[in-house]
Amino acid sequence: MATHAAAHHDDHHDDKPHGFLNRWVFSTNHKDIGTLYLIFSFTMACIGAAFSGVIRTELMKPGLQFVQPYFFNQMTTLHALVMIFGAIMPGFVGLANWMIPLQVGAPDMALPRMNNWSFWILPFAFLLLLSTLFMPGGGPAGGWTMYPPLAIQGGNSVAFMVFAVHLMGISSIMGAINIIATILNMRAPGMDLLKMPLFTWSWLITAFLLIAVMPVLAGAVTMLLTDKYFGTSFFNAAGGGDPVMFQHIFWFFGHPEVYIMILPAFGIISEIIPTFSRKPLFGYQAMVYAIASIAFLSFIVWGHHMFTVGMPLGGELFFMYSTMLIAVPTGVKVFNWVSTMWGGSLSFETPMLWAIAFVILFTIGGFSGLMLALVPADFQYQDTYFVVAHFHYVLVTGALFSIIAAIYYWWPKWTGRMYNETWAKVHFWWSIVFVNVLFFPQHFLGLAGMPRRIPDYNVAFSDWNFISTIGAYGMFLTPFMMFFILWHSLKHGAQAKAQAWEGAHGLEWTVPSPAPFHTFATPPVIHDEDLAHGDVTH
């Protein structure tokens, strides 16, 4: 019997993936697939940053220096598509793959083979998209919003772009189904929904958003495709169509999409701040309801992207008020993060620095968003660099910074090694300085009237553009700094302790007696009966 058991054990042992192909290409392991997503996301971020480097280099001085206007527009279009669908979203999905099974106590994702497939679609989607740069007529140049009639001018890149977008959408929907199935069906016993870590909650809500809006994008781009190649007139005014209808369909997808890129960030920040404040998150349930409220409201505000298309006054008022309403649950979240830190036993390791930077800089993006929500003001800001500054504060210092924070936070858990804290802090401060040098001047450019998506401009805008481009060059170095820090950690990093963030720098953090908190990597669940017995003190 023992021999049989041993033989069986050996057979089982042979099931482990042997060789590179089995481990990575055919992987069904949530951690390996999470790693693949993160590597892909990093690669795409570097490509997207290179495109933005072309944009900022051309804009360093007035006049046409380096590229033709059509190529400039290809760069703005591809920069956005690559960063949104190639860097930010796969980055969050990679974190979800890594952490959700660990956080809910599941052995793996619910649908491991589909998990593999949803990743491997992405490299091919982006090969298709980027290959358009080498085709006659060049890549798509209608902006990431793909507005007709501009988007369907030029060569056959439209067909490739549409097919690539379909593939990205299929990947996202499959990933979302997998996340929902995992969270709803595979939680460990006792892990009620309202005991889940906030990162898991944020992804559960985000996954429903993805499933709801990705088919809408698919519909919009398919109609675009038939307009170009099959003689339909969905958006062609000459055939009785309406180009503004495309904007309605696109932004009905596009606005929830913006929240798909920020809700997981809220979850990440809600994990990091309690850890380095040494106390549980303030208002856990309020945070869950705030995320759900933001997700719901994101479906009814799409028109604020279209205040200048000539919609009726009643429509403008509705979209203005509903947009301002989103500031309420968002404000609740910022208040709760600050309240978590208030009176906490704070320490400022690298993940905490990124999290605090997120709270401050994301809030700047929130305030400029509130300005854009005001209809009369938006008539002035529309399609200027003020809008560019706004969404980069939300998506760079918001979404991207949270992904970086999460990698620094969970790295010891993933690899068992610590990174060089000094160099990680250099990376942080370098990024903070240059991201603001890059994007803050764009507020001034926009308020002064500089339009977006143009390669040439009035000399009046030249000073701030020059400064902005210096910031871009500084930011371009940051992914390579991070790569070096993490690579060095893998090769030479110190062994991580079982609780990596406990007693950072040799300091022991405890809350005064009678009931000390022991430090935790994720906030402990506090039960009502504990409170009744006085077992928990703040």
Q: Which position among 166, 255, 278, 443 bears the catalytic label?
A: 255
Cβ contact 365:393 at 8 Å: yes
Known active-site residue 431: no
∠ Cα 40 48 425 (to 5°): 75
Q: Which residues contact 219 (CB under 8 A, 6 or more apart)?
A: 249
Query: How many alpha carbons lie under 13 Å from residue 68 in its C-beta half-sphere?
Result: 5
Cβ contact 247:147 at 8 Å: yes
Known active-site residue 52: no
Q: Which residue has the tokens 């960030």?
A: 265
Q: Which position among 330, 402, 478, 489 bears the catalytic label?
A: 330
Known active-site residue 108: yes
Q: Could you tell me which of 497, 498, 538 has the C-alpha nearest to residue 514?
A: 538
Known active-site residue 242: no
Q: Which residues contact 71 (CB under 8 A, 6 or more apart)?
A: 138
Known active-site residue 58: no
Q: Which position among 30, 333, 390, 427 bears the catalytic label?
A: 333
Q: Could you tell me which of 168, 179, 84 has the C-alpha nearest to residue 120?
A: 168
Known active-site residue 333: yes
Known active-site residue 330: yes
In the structure encoding, which two tokens stand for residue 248, read together?
A: 């309605």
Integer CA distances (angstroms), 23 to 14, 29, 33, 116, 135, in order: 13, 9, 10, 11, 35
Q: Which position among 57, 108, 425, 430 bears the catalytic label?
A: 108
How many whole angstroms separate alpha carbon 210 and alpha carbon 174?
A: 10
Q: Which residues contact 252 (CB under 8 A, 6 or more apart)?
A: 213, 216, 299, 302
Question: What do you get for the CA distance between the two ends of the chain, in Å?
Answer: 55
Q: Which position among 227, 257, 271, 349 bears the catalytic label?
A: 257
Known active-site residue 270: yes
Q: Which position among 279, 304, 390, 443 bears the catalytic label?
A: 304
How many whole angstroms separate alpha carbon 490 and alpha carbon 417?
A: 7
In the structure encoding, which two tokens stand for residue 179, read together?
A: 């996340």
∠ Cα 216 221 224 (to 5°): 130
Known active-site residue 187: no
Known active-site residue 8: no
Q: Could you tell me which of 403, 379, 347 has the C-alpha nearest to residue 99?
A: 403
Q: Which position among 228, 305, 392, 443 bears the catalytic label?
A: 305
How many whole angstroms separate alpha carbon 188 and alpha carbon 211?
A: 25
How many whole angstroms separate alpha carbon 243 and alpha carbon 452?
A: 20
Would you say the C-alpha torsion 279, 285, 286, 290 has a positive or negative sign? positive
Q: Which position among 27, 52, 76, 144 bears the catalytic label?
A: 144
Known active-site residue 488: no
Q: Which position among 259, 354, 457, 464 bears the catalytic label?
A: 259
In the structure encoding, which two tokens stand for residue 46, read together?
A: 């570097």
Cβ contact 428:507 at 8 Å: no
Known active-site residue 227: no
495 three-class SS? strand
Q: Which position among 52, 171, 202, 277 bears the catalytic label?
A: 171
Q: Which position among 452, 453, 462, 502 bears the catalytic label?
A: 452
* Catalytically annotated residues: 79, 108, 144, 171-172, 255, 257, 259, 270, 304-305, 330, 333, 452
